Structures are given as structure tokens and as C-alpha cells.
């Protein structure tokens, strides 16, 4: 908010480039379709329909273009492979955003195309340029039938894809979106009725594609647009095959804060830190795949995800494995009691509890995982200083990254990475207890106190009691009373501009990393995961602080 539509769309270099290229190409195709119809002497009879046919043909070409584009951002595996090479060219992590832009464009041009065709067909009927009535073209010919079906499918897909519906019932969105299969079939066969022709009757043949291109003068766009469809379909098949490879849920741990940790063993699964995967539990739901961030490091012998029981899927999963809300509450209490008794070591919130499959009536469920899928934090090791910022639930990918950094630090293989600044901005830290325990491990293992710095900002409103608590308990204690880390928790929102400005100053004077001085250009990579408002503020701070000797980069991850 706060900035106008014009500022957002045109006053930003990248967005401006996108708008010019995206909408420019659309307008180009529209104009070309219009022109090619207008100047085609073979189609003189159709050109008697004037503006409506030029418009429908122009919009038809644009729709073919959109139909070819719409699946490209959904080719998840291909994007993951080409991402590292092409990250500079286009934001591969904005794939869903791009998918939506194509969809909006498709809705608009479908409106133009359909409106024009309604005019076309009534004029065909009136002039009898073809011996047909309008409703025959609409409801008995392939073009009309597939067109009307595609429109209906679009209504269902768009309405269930609205963020409100998607959030309250992901299934409605997920299942309805698979109508895309029929939509794409409709798109590829839309022109098989040979509507654009220079003969009075369609010139059908007995061989594929069952019409003669001599008299059927459509764009033949299916020859191009079918490839993304084929690739997407193959990718879905490949994902299915890959998901069926041997996978075993080896351990299930319940953390005192209520998070379940699933440790999965799948030897064929290779990933890098900061990536995410889809998980499926057939016992809970046969068809659903749910995305989760990987919390283990590639060096770990297992793949782990931490799941909090917040949604219906995760709750059902908890029930299935015998870690329902009541169990978790009991475990948490037991764990807390344990730690209270042992007051000499207040450094832990109680340990996690492993659920023993032998004690429950059912064995651990079968799980299947699909992935991994990309995230910008893969390239942490290419910069000298990495600033990792996690806000709220967005902190999860950094579990894996911090662990991974720790492993690489142990083996002395840090690339160009010299220092790590980790920021964790959250409303209430205790709800992420499992993450705290991980941070404790990482913090305790630090040999070089300057390598990793953890900064925790608590943004919740603090009442008087809590204030006193902190004031009394915090003073002189070895560990922070809230997070039980050596690092002190800070309160309120971080002042990013100040933080970055100070960092830039420290680096250029050589205080920050020994040996680095102004002759060497230092790159500080910021990796952020969290809400977009915060992303914007941080990005502005990085841009502002970039100078001749220090280069700040910024990357944001999406869920």
C-alpha cells in the first residue's frame, strides 16, 4: 500500500521491463493476427464480417500464445534445473506469480475472442456466407463446443483459485485445477473444426490431423502450444514415478512445542539446503501433496520436515501417527516438568520425544515425497557475507541452511563465505520451540564467535508483567530467558536501514571481516523468507547501502 498503481507497475525497472515485454508481445500478436486475417485474400469471404473477425482472429492468436505460456511456470523440475543458470535473467522463484499474470491475460483475451465470435456467428447466419445458423457453429462444431467448455472450466478454475478459497479449502482448488487437463485438450482441438477456411464446407481428411491444411487456414498453433503440455504431462508422470521410489518414514519425533519432526529415509532423494518438498501420506489422503520446507541438511542421513499441527491435513496426520493434540499436550507437560526438576541446566525446553511405533497399535504410515524444489538460498556460499532473515514461519528454510553451513564449517569447506548474520523476526518465539533447540545446537557448536551472529527480534506487544520478568531474569543471566540462547532477544521491529548502513560502514573500514578492505569488493547476500511488506523494506535498505566497495544483493523465497 501507500504507492499508486502507476508507481508499482511502471516506476520499477524490472516490473516495467516485464510489462513492456509481456503486454507488448500480447499486443504484437493481436496486431499480427488482425493483420494476417485482414490481408489474406483467400479469406475474403470471412473478411466480409469486418471488425469482428479481425478481432477474433487477433485475440485467437494471443490466446494460443497464452495457452503456450500458461504451463511453462508450472514445469517445476525443469525450473529447478535451469534456475541456477538463469536466475539473473528472470526471477524463477516468481513462477506462480507469472502463471497468474498469464491467467489474467487469458481471461481478458478470452472475453475479447468470445465477444467477437458471438458477433461473427450471428453475422454468418444473417449473411449466409456459410449455409449455417449461429447456434450450429456454437454448439455442433468443434470450435464452438471446445470454446464453451473451456470458458466453463475457466470459471470453475479461476473462482476456486481465489486466494480466499485456496486458503480455506486447498482441496477445492487443487482438484478443480486439474480440469486444466480437459482445458488443454480443448485448446489443442479448438481449431479441428476448420472454421477458418476458404471453402464453404470444412475440408476434412482421413489422416491426422483430419483436416487439410490446404483449405483450413487456421494458425496451426497447436503444433507449438502442445509441447509445454506434453512436457508438463511427462513431468507429472515422472514425479509420480519418482515419488514411488523406496521411501521409509524412519522416525517420528514430537517436539515439546508441538511440532512433529518426520525423519524420512529415501536414498534416491538428493537436495540442497533451503529447498522444499511435497509430502503425501496415503493413509490420510490418497491424492494430496502438501509442501513443506526441508529442515535437515544434505549431510544428514535422513530428510526431515517439521510439521506443526495447524491445518486439517497436519492435524489428521498427527492423529494418524498417534501424536494428536492431546498427546502433544501431555508430552509437552512431561517435558516441561522434566526440565523444571533439573533446574541446574535451564538451557533446554525439554527434549523431543520419539514416538515408538511398537507402542502404538498401528505402524508408522507410508509416506511419499516429491521434490526437491528450488529456493534462492542455495547460493549462500558464493557470497562473502550472508545475511539470513527469516520472519515468522518463514524461518523454516534457514534450519536446513544453518545446519548445512555448520556441516561445511566443520569440514572447512565454506567457499567464499566468511560470516553469517542470522535475523529472526517473529511475533512470539515460544511457538517455534523446535527451531530454538536447533539454534541452540548451532550456537553451542560455534568455535569462532564472529562467524555466526544470531539476532532475534520479538515484535509482539509486551505487557507489564512480561516486562518485569525480562528485566529481572535477564540481568546477568547467561542465557536469554525467552529463547534460552546466549544471544539476547531484542524487542520491536528491526531498523533495517540502520542495520545495513552500520554493516556497510564496518565492512568498508575493514572491521567487519579481517583482511577485507576497500580494495576488494565485498558481496553481502541477503536471503529473506517472509511477508512481502518486510521484503520491500529490506530490499530498499540493501539498495540504499550499496556502495563502491560493498555490494548488497537481495533474494526472496516463496512458499
Partner 1 sequence: MGNLIWHEWARYVSLTASLYTIWAAYFALLWRKFFWDFVSGIQRNPGGLQPAPGDAFFVSVIVKAPVIPILSIILGGVLVGLEYPAPFLKGTSIQRSLVLRPVLLLIQALIAIFFYQGTNGAIYSLVAAIGYSRALSLGEEMKDAKANKGRGGKA
Nearer to partner 1, 156 or 231 (CB): 156
Q: Which DSSP letter does residue 330 get?
A: H
Supply the minimum distance, in Å, between the C-beta of residue 172 and partner 1: 5
For partner 1, which is the closer residue by CB, 160 or 225? Answer: 160
Applying CB under 8 A, among 170, 302, 381, 491 the residue interacting with partner 1 is 170
Contact residues for 305 (Cβ-Cβ < 8 A; gap 6+): 261, 262, 264, 277, 279, 292, 293, 294, 295
Closest among 195, 358, 363, 369 to 271, alpha carbons compared? 369
CB of residue 148 to partner 1, shortest distance in Å: 7
Helix residue ranges, H only, 294-395: 312-320, 325-341
Q: Which of residues 507-536 bind partner 1 (CB under 8 A)?
A: 531, 533-534
CA distance 373 to 375: 7
Residues binding partner 1: what is the number (CB under 8 A)?
40
CB of 343 to partner 1, least distance (A): 37
Quote the least distance from Cβ 181 to partner 1, whole Å: 20
CB of 531 to partner 1, least distance (A): 5
Which position has the grid cell 491424492?
287
Per-residue x/- mask for partner 1, residues 266 to 285, rule CB under 8 A?
A: -------------------x
The answer to whether 160 contacts partner 1 (rule: CB under 8 A) is yes
**Which has the closest alpha carbon to 274: 88, 529, 516, 13?**
529
Taking the complex as a whole, the smallest distance from the CB of residue 158 to partner 1 amounts, in Å, to 8
**Which of 84/131 has CB closer to partner 1?**
131
CA distance 166 to 159: 9
Nearer to partner 1, 86 or 155 (CB): 155
Tell whether residue 313 is a contact of partner 1 (CB under 8 A).
Answer: yes
- Residue 103: burial class (beta carbons within 10 Å; 0-12, 13-18, 19+): middle
For partner 1, the closer of residues 95 and 160 by Cβ is 160
Position 164 contacts partner 1 (CB under 8 A): yes
- If 0-12 CB within 10 Å is exposed, 13-18 middle and 19+ buried, where does residue 466 land? middle
Please tell me the total number of residues recorded for the chain in this structure. 559
149 lines the binding site for partner 1 (CB under 8 A): no
Helix (H, G, I), strand (E, B) or coil at 162: coil
Partnered with residue 387 across adjacent β-strands are: 421, 526
Q: Rounded to the nearest whole angstrom, what is the least distance from the CB of residue 270 to partner 1 in the complex?
A: 31
CB atoms within 10 A of CB 476: 5
Residues in region 83-142 near partner 1 by CB under 8 A: 111, 115, 118-119, 122-123, 125-128, 131, 133-135, 138
The binding site for partner 1 (CB under 8 A) comprises: 111, 115, 118-119, 122-123, 125-128, 131, 133-135, 138, 148, 151-152, 155-156, 158-160, 162-165, 168-172, 285, 288, 312-313, 316, 531, 533-534
Amino acid at each position: 500500500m501507500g504507492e499508486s498503481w502507476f508507481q508499482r507497475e511502471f516506476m520499477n525497472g524490472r516490473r516495467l521491463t516485464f510489462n513492456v515485454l509481456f503486454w507488448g508481445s500480447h499486443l504484437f500478436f493481436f496486431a499480427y493476427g488482425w493483420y494476417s486475417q485482414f490481408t489474406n485474400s483467400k479469406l475474403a469471404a470471412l473478411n466480409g464480417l469486418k471488425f469482428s473477425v479481425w478481432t477474433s482472429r487477433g485475440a485467437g492468436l494471443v490466446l494460443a500464445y497464452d495457452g503456450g505460456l500458461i504451463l511453462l511456470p508450472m514445469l517445476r523440475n525443469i525450473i529447478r534445473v535451469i534456475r541456477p543458470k538463469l536466475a539473473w535473467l528472470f526471477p524463477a522463484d516468481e513462477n506462480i506469480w507469472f502463471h497468474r499474470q498469464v491467467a489474467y491475460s487469458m481471461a481478458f483475451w478470452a472475453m475479447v475472442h468470445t465477444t467477437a465470435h458471438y458477433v461473427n456467428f450471428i453475422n454468418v447466419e444473417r449473411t449466409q456466407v456459410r449455409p449455417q445458423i449461429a447456434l450450429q457453429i456454437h454448439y455442433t462444431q468443434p470450435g464452438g463446443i471446445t470454446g464453451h467448455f473451456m470458458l466453463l472450466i475457466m470459471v470453475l478454475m479461476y473462482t476456486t483459485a481465489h486466494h480466499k478459497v485456496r486458503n480455506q479449502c486447498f482441496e477445492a482448488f487443487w482438484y478443480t485445477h486439474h480440469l486444466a487437463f480437459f482445458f488443454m485438450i480443448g485448446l489443442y482441438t479448438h481449431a479441428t473444426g476448420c472454421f477458418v477456411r476458404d471453402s464453404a464446407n470444412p475440408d476434412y481428411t482421413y489422416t491426422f490431423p483430419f483436416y487439410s491444411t490446404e483449405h483450413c487456414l487456421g494458425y496451426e498453433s497447436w503444433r507449438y502450444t502442445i509441447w509445454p503440455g506434453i512436457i508438463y504431462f511427462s513431468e507429472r508422470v515422472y514425479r509420480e514415478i519418482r515419488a514411488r521410489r523406496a521411501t521409509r518414514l524412519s522416525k517420528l519425533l514430537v517436539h515439546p512445542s508441538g511440532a512433529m519432526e518426520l525423519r524420512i529415509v529415501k536414498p534416491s532423494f538428493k537436495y540442497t539446503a533451503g529447498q522444499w518438498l511435497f509430502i503425501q501420506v496415503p493413509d490420510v489422503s490418497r491424492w494430496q501433496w502438501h509442501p513443506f520446507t526441508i529442515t535437515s541438511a544434505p549431510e544428514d542421513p535422513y530428510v526431515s520436515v517439521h510439521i506443526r499441527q495447524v491445518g486439517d491435513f497436519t492435524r489428521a496426520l498427527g492423529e494418524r501417527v498417534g501424536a494428536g493434540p492431546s498427546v502433544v499436550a501431555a508430552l509437552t507437560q512431561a517435558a516441561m516438568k522434566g526440565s523444571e526438576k533439573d533446574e541446574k541446566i535451564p538451557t533446554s525446553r525439554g527434549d523431543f520425544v520419539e514416538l515408538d511405533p511398537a507402542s502404538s497399535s498401528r505402524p508408522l504410515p507410508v509416506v511419499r515425497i516429491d521434490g526437491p524444489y528450488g529456493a534462492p538460498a542455495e547460493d549462500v556460499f558464493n557470497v562473502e557475507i550472508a545475511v539470513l532473515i527469516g520472519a515468522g514461519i518463514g524461518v523454516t528454510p534457514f534450519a536446513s541452511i544453518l545446519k548445512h553451513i555448520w556441516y561445511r564449517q566443520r569440514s572447512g569447506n565454506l567457499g567464499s563465505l566468511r560470516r553469517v548474520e542470522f535475523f529472526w523476526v517473529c511475533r512470539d518465539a515460544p511457538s517455534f520451540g523446535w527451531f530454538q533447540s536447533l539454534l541452540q545446537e548451532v550456537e553451542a557448536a560455534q568455535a569462532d564467535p564472529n562467524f555466526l551472529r544470531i539476532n532475534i527480534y520479538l515484535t509482539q506487544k509486551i505487557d507489564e508483567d512480561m516486562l518485569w520478568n525480562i528485566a529481572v531474569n535477564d540481568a546477568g543471566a547467561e542465557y536469554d530467558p525467552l529463547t534460552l540462547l546466549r544471544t539476547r532477544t531484542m524487542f520491536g521491529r528491526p531498523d533495517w536501514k540502520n542495520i545495513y548502513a552500520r554493516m556497510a560502514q564496518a565492512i568498508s573500514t575493514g572491521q567487519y571481516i579481517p583482511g577485507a578492505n576497500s580494495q576488494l569488493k565485498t558481496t553481502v547476500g541477503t536471503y529473506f523468507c517472509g511477508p512481502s511488506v518486510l521484503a520491500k523494506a529490506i530490499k530498499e535498505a540493501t539498495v540504499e547501502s550499496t556502495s563502491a566497495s560493498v555490494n548488497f544483493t537481495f533474494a526472496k523465497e516463496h512458499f
